Chains A and B, each alone.
Chain A
Amino acid sequence: MTAETLSRRDWLGLIARAPLPLLEALWPDDPPPFDWLRRPETGAMMVQGRAGAVGAGFNLGEVSVTRASVRLQCGAIGHALVQGRSPRKAERAAVLDALLQTAAAQDVHARVLVPLQEAECAARETRARRAAATKVDFFTMVRGEG
């Protein structure tokens, strides 16, 4: 998937999963002036699981989440729902979401989303490679009888 085909759902997830230090490093700018629609507030959410991704749903456990909503002066509204208790991250994510709906989208895309996507791909690949290194192939030797 290339960066150009990212939907809003994709970039919301990408920003929400990114660690805050990486987000700050990629986008250290001061945010444009904005109003809070909802100040960052922390709560708990129940995460549901499904055994083998097909079984009946069950409650896996609660995670802390922080949500925030902002409105830029041009009227664009950004939402964020991030795991953890960092109001700072929720604010950054919400402002980025709003910016990605404005004329600044191209710039933010290139500066933030593309590196985030590359970092995520690289992390996934590293993990897959480390898992692959421990792979064991079992086989049965033909018993020499007769």
Chain B
Amino acid sequence: MTAQLTPGFANPPIEAAHAFRQVLEAMAHPGRIMGLAGIAAPAPCSAAAACVLLTLVDGTTPLHLAGAHDCAPVRDWVRFHLGAPLVGPQEAAFALGTWDALGPLAIYPQGSAEYPDRSATLIVECVALQASGARLTGPGIKDAAWLNLPDPAALRTNAALFPRGVDIMFTSGAQIAALPRSTQIGDA
């Protein structure tokens, strides 16, 4: 069981700082597809998602593993490298899974009007990220950006809750794109 455990960052301070910068860039420019690689992730977790977890999640951030990601190799990896408590979606600060496995966005913490930061960040594993599909506008986007969103209607509802709502990162292989709640989602 533990024989499948894979190493984390080879040089944690440097690589975590680089990964953090990439995540920051992705969040600051919604819809922009950024590269994020460098570590071997436990299946079915993508390299980009594992990088985000290693960078942002530790023992103080409850993590929810959804669907196929809630398996022994990923749990062992989380326990060894992150030490994050594994919780249900209602208490999660971070959640990892495919769009279908994560379920409706409303079950995750949405924050409150006074404390909108008390909300969840979802890491959604996708088959592929493409700069096509839904039209994105808002803070961080000069004119417009496009991203293949799994369910534009549900994400539009999430954006309408602003300043409440959840933030989302889409990962696929070694790529990441972000969709903070401030982004307005148009039609395809």
CB contacts (< 8 Å) of A31 on chain B: these are: none
CB contacts (< 8 Å) of B34 on chain A: these are: none
Tally of chain B residues near chain A (CB < 8 A): 11
Q: Which of A5-50 contact B (CB under 8 A)?
A: 35-39, 41
CB contacts (< 8 Å) of A36 on chain B: these are: 7, 10
Interface of B is mostly: loop
CB contacts (< 8 Å) of A37 on chain B: these are: 5-8, 80
A39 touches B10 (CB 8 A): yes
CB contacts (< 8 Å) of B8 on chain A: these are: 37-38
A77 touches B5 (CB 8 A): yes
Whole-angstrom distance between the alpha carbons of A75 and B12 in the complex? 23
- Does B14 have its Cβ within 8 Å of any Cβ on chain A? no
- Does A89 have its Cβ within 8 Å of any Cβ on chain B? no
- Does A71 have its Cβ within 8 Å of any Cβ on chain B? yes
Tally of chain A residues near chain B (CB < 8 A): 10
Whole-angstrom distance between the alpha carbons of A71 and B2 in the complex? 10
The listed residue (B5, B11, B12, B81) touching A71 by CB distance below 8 A is B5
Q: Separation in Å of the A108 CB from the closest CB of chain B?
A: 20
Whole-angstrom distance between the alpha carbons of A71 and B11 in the complex? 17
Interface string of B1-25 (1 = CB under 8 A from A): 0110111101110000000000000
Q: Separation in Å of the B102 CB from the closest CB of chain A?
A: 29
Whole-angstrom distance between the alpha carbons of A75 and B2 in the complex? 8
CB contacts (< 8 Å) of A35 on chain B: these are: 7
CB contacts (< 8 Å) of B81 on chain A: these are: 38
Whole-angstrom distance between the alpha carbons of A41 and B12 in the complex? 10
Q: Separation in Å of the A104 CB from the closest CB of chain B?
A: 17
Whole-angstrom distance between the alpha carbons of A71 and B40 in the complex? 15
Q: Which of B1-58 contact A (CB under 8 A)?
A: 2-3, 5-8, 10-12
The listed residue (A38, A41, A69, A75) touching B3 by CB distance below 8 A is A75
Q: Taking A36-B10, A39-B10, A71-B3 as given, write out 18 further A-B residue pairs in contact, using a Cβ cutoff of 8 Å, ordered by the A residue number.
A: A36-B7, A37-B5, A37-B7, A37-B8, A37-B80, A38-B7, A38-B8, A38-B81, A39-B11, A39-B12, A41-B12, A69-B80, A71-B5, A71-B7, A75-B3, A77-B2, A77-B3, A77-B5
Task: Pull 11 A–B residue pairs with CB atoms less than 8 Å apart, ordered by A.
Answer: A36-B10, A37-B5, A37-B6, A38-B7, A39-B10, A71-B3, A71-B5, A71-B7, A75-B3, A77-B2, A77-B3
